Amino acid sequence: MITKKIVVDNIKTLFYALIIAVVIRSLLIQPFYIPSSSMEPTLLVGDRLFVTKYTYGYSRHSFPFSPPILNKRVFFNDPKRGDVVVFKTPSDNRTDYIKRLIGLPGDKIQFIDSNIYINNSEILKSRTSKVDKIFCGSRIIDVFTFEEKLPNGKLFTSVYLKDFPYQNSDIFNVPSDHYFFLGDNRDCSKDSRFLSSVGYVHKDNLVGKAQFIFFSSDKSVGSFLSFWKWHKSIRIKRFFKKIN
């Protein structure tokens, strides 16, 4: 017979476990799932990754449901150009996005003939492939693949649509305490170029830095419950892959 003491003890155990989980998720590390192709080829749909919450300090967005318990960021550490960052979109302060940090406060960013300029200096890029195909939503697109080098020496891979890539823009003047983000899949990303929906991201909206992939599966092959397809759907080579 289940006694009242056993029930109370189980409730206490569940309560303590919940508190520990919230503390870990809020202050240390949080898992995220990649639902879109805006960061291909760096991140694929179906990647599951860990994001460190302590890297840039803490704000109200560090906690579940963004409670108004902090009115500014505390223990703040400046993010580095080229970091892959999870942030809350300024348009609703609720939706999580993940993009690459390109522009720092005070920078001037501009696209000229599909090339990115930071403070009037072109980002160096070298084409590594011209026959790649990647996803853009449910479509497969032909892209040129490049290795890009940011002013701080950070190297990473980006892709541009072969036909009609994003060409030119006005100058984006990054305000104080704000950042400018781009997706690595340059022509299939809603990012800071779209001022009405994303735009410049305030430092308080930063959630954390993406560190490594711990699991990855291709849903287009089959769901996780389709165990007979695991040999095709589970991307073992991406397990514990560090995010560059």
End-to-end CA distance of the chain: 56
Q: Are 158 and 179 in contact (CB under 8 A)?
A: no
pLDDT tops 70 at residue 138 = yes
The residue-averaged pLDDT of 115-121 equals 97
Tell me the pLDDT tens digit for each residue of 215-234.
999 987 777 677 777 888 89
| The predicted structure's pLDDT at residue 19 | 81
Q: Can you list the domains of the chain with their CATH numbers?
A: 4-242 (2.10.109.10)
CA dist., res. 234 & res. 222, Å (int):
9
pLDDT tops 70 at residue 208 = yes
From the list 88, 99, 203, 209, the catalytic residue is 99
In eight-state DSSP terms, residue 5 is H
pLDDT confidence tier of residue 114, bands split at 50, 70 and 90: very high
| The predicted structure's pLDDT at residue 2 | 58
Q: Is 237 a catalytic residue?
A: no
| The predicted structure's pLDDT at residue 229 | 77
| The predicted structure's pLDDT at residue 36 | 95
Residues in the chain: 244
The residue-averaged pLDDT of 113-135 equals 94
| The predicted structure's pLDDT at residue 20 | 77
The residue-averaged pLDDT of 99-114 equals 97
pLDDT confidence tier of residue 175, bands split at 50, 70 and 90: very high
Pick the more confident residue, 27 or 209.
Answer: 209
Q: Is 38 a catalytic residue?
A: yes
From the list 38, 62, 217, 233, the catalytic residue is 38
CA dist., res. 70 & res. 67, Å (int):
8
CA dist., res. 98 & res. 73, Å (int):
19
DSSP string, 61-89: GGSTT--TT-SS-BS--PPPTT-EEEEE-
